[in-house]
Structure 1
Amino acid sequence: MDDDKFDIIMKIHNYVPFRIARALSGHWMDPVNKFMPKTIINVSSTSGLHGSMGQINYATAKAGVLGLTKTIAAEWGRYNVRANAVAYGWIDTRITRPPTESEAMSLGGQAIRLGIPENAKKWRDVSDIPLGRPGSADEAARVILFLASPLSSYVTGTCIECTGGRFM
């Protein structure tokens, strides 16, 4: 993998959440807002927890999200900021379906097909998912909703795995 392919994933998955947190920091650390509950929810992946063949850039970036999340939780807890992450496994979205010729994004003038190739059969195998299927986008969103709600008011510095039991 060349440096450009590695760097673009770092910029998307590490720089963006860092810059968002940094932009919030002055307001959130203001003593006037000390008792206002604040929550950062970062999105990671099981690739960041377990690695992923052929995705060294993505796995590295998603592991970095976990370090960023835990550091913010440790440093900003005194300002009533909670920081958590969700590591998703196989969630059925356009990105996790097989690529098509008609769906691509352009990056630096290069067309990049969306999706996971058909030949990634091991990844598509549900036999190691106790629930026997990929998750839905609604199921994925519910984990975020839980972390954003008062139901998780004493949860910080952790990563919830949303995997249907894969990697258990």
Structure 2
Amino acid sequence: MKRLLRTLPLALLLASTFAAATDVSLAGGALHVPVPDNWVPIMQSQGDVTETQVFQVPGSSAADATLARVSITLQQVPNLNGFQQFSGNLRSHASGLKEYVAGKVTSPTENIYTAKEGTVKLDYYERYFYSGGYAIQLRCIRPTGDAKWNASFDKGCAEVAAHMPS
């Protein structure tokens, strides 16, 4: 009984982490990933080869709420070379954004940078994954805002990245 009482708080903590997430399915169920419940789906596109799901992330201000978003894009590719082409094309597109400035990455599967969208400077964090014949990009975009909100946004992105297949 004592052991049960000691493990119950941990079990409840783990359950609460997953209870606050919505499971998103892409590519006909080939990819399932939990996202925070407060992320609002604002766009989904499906094609024969590429699929994208975009979420608006409620912000600390009205400006943040309209600009902060996360997208998951996946494309069916034949092999690792296809994955490298997918990520290379998206990185090339990013470097062409207005006032693009590369940031410091800690992994070859990351792309971190700032750029302007209209008149607003945004922070971009991209991670690339390859699994089951799919190239996947997780892209998190947020304006610079208050530190507490940024930490919450970044935590949500990190949690989604942790659930991506590798």
Return the TM-score normalized by structure 2.
0.26
**Is the strand fraction higher in 1 or 2?**
2
Identify which of structures 1 and 2 has the higher relative contact order when contacts are C-alpha pairs closer than 8 Å and 6+ apart: 1
TM-score scaled by structure 1? 0.25
More helix, by proportion: 1
